[in-house]
Amino acid sequence: MAEHLPLSLIPSQPRANQFARPFFYARANLNGYVSSSPQYRVMVHLCKEIGYKMFAVITFIAFGALGITALVFLSLSSPSHLPLAIVSLGFLLNPIFRVAISSYRKGNEQEIFVKIERGIASECKQLTQKKSDEFRADLRMAGIMPYQIKGIDKIRRLDSLKAIFARYIYWQKRAEHLRKSAQRITHSSTAARNGLKPHQLRPWTLSAINAQRKEALTLTKEHLITKTRAAFMYGLIMHPFYQGDLEDLCHFHLQTIEQIYLDQTFADPEANKFLVFHGKRQIWINKKEAQEISISGLADRLFRHVKS
């Protein structure tokens, strides 16, 4: 598997149609995730990453050099005004440097998206090497029959769904990797805690065990988010002409680790709320349901009221 990615960014990923391929590539009315290739998205995110980071670096260097030059000039020409100039320059450069820092952070986000899209591109490359019959077999293995795909008669070739299937495969593998990692750490911390005798309970020992529990909770949260995105991609295979995004169907009820601890301690029913579906009624599922439900079942819940 690829290196661990900070998947807390996933709920705010670029929208499906934001980076649709140019009009001479795009197929009319298909969702942007279906019609755009991962390679194209890699290029777009890479250009944005370079742009954001270059802007940040140039801003730091340019205004930093300007500020130093001004201070040197004042120290030589009018030393008595130097303290006032330093304070004034600090007030002047502070908002500029904040913009530069914000730009660099956006560049780091784009770097994460580049890694994600490269992983998807790798899956897509493997699929493109398969023949149509092999791809149909992969769809059947995932529980998808061609006649179940909405608007299949409008799609010239079933192979045009390879890009969105690659996205599903990528997120499904990421979700499984995170699930196993969280499970392994949970078992490790539980075994360590149960293996301690009363006289062995030291603050630093308990601190290490709590750190493991915290990591396991974080990985579990990221697993459920990733699983939901895999379910969304699965649903898009069945509804390739759907024009919305995951955030149009639901939103995550995310909490900090500290909030989870407190809510579990006081048995707050809101503690286990995980995914809230949009619609006339605010239907939601808890963390346990999200862990137990299959990806195809979660996709069915997400797209239950989608008509396209």
Residue 45 lies in a domain: yes
Whether residue 197 is contained in a domain is answered as: no
- For the stretch 105-141, pLDDT in tens is 999 999 999 999 999 999 999 999 999 899 999 999 9
pLDDT higher at 266 or 222: 222
* pLDDT score of 121: 94
Residue 81, in any domain of the structure: yes
Structural tokens at position 253: 């009820």
Domain extent for 75: 37-129
Q: Is residue 297 part of a domain?
A: no
> Which helix (H) or strand (E) element contains residue 155?
none
The answer to whether residue 42 is domain-embedded is yes
Q: Is residue 118 part of a domain?
A: yes
87 token code pair? 């304070």
User: Tell me: the pLDDT tens digits for 66-90?
Assistant: 777 877 776 777 777 777 767 777 7
Higher pLDDT, 83 or 47: 47
Buried b (16+ CB within 10 A) or exposed e, 198-207: eeeeeeeeee
Q: What single letter denotes the amino acid at residue 69?
A: T
Is the predicted pLDDT of residue 154 greater than 50, yes or no? yes
Judge contact between 284 and 253, C-beta under 8 A.
Answer: yes
Q: Domain count of the chain?
A: 1
CA 252/CA 276 separation, integer angstroms:
6
| Strand pairing report for 273-277 and 284-286 | antiparallel
CB 135 within 8 A of CB 159: yes
Q: What are phi and psi of 243, to 5 degrees?
A: -100, 5
Cross-strand partners of 277: 250
Element (H, E) at 272: none
Highest mean pLDDT among 5-19, 161-175, 196-210: 161-175
Is residue 293 domain-resident? Answer: no
Backbone phi, then psi, for 276, in 5-degree steps?
A: -110, 120
Overall average pLDDT of the 179-191 stretch? 82
Domain for residue 54, yes or no?
A: yes
Helix (H) or strand (E) holding 128: helix 82-128
CB 118 within 8 A of CB 42: yes
Q: How far out from the chain centre does Cα 177 lie?
A: 15
Write down the H helix ranges in 129-245: 132-141, 162-194, 203-238
Judge if pTM exceeds 0.85: no
Q: Are 258 and 271 in contact (CB under 8 A)?
A: no
To the nearest whole number, what is the mean pLDDT of the chain?
A: 80
Distance CA 145, CA 138 (A): 10
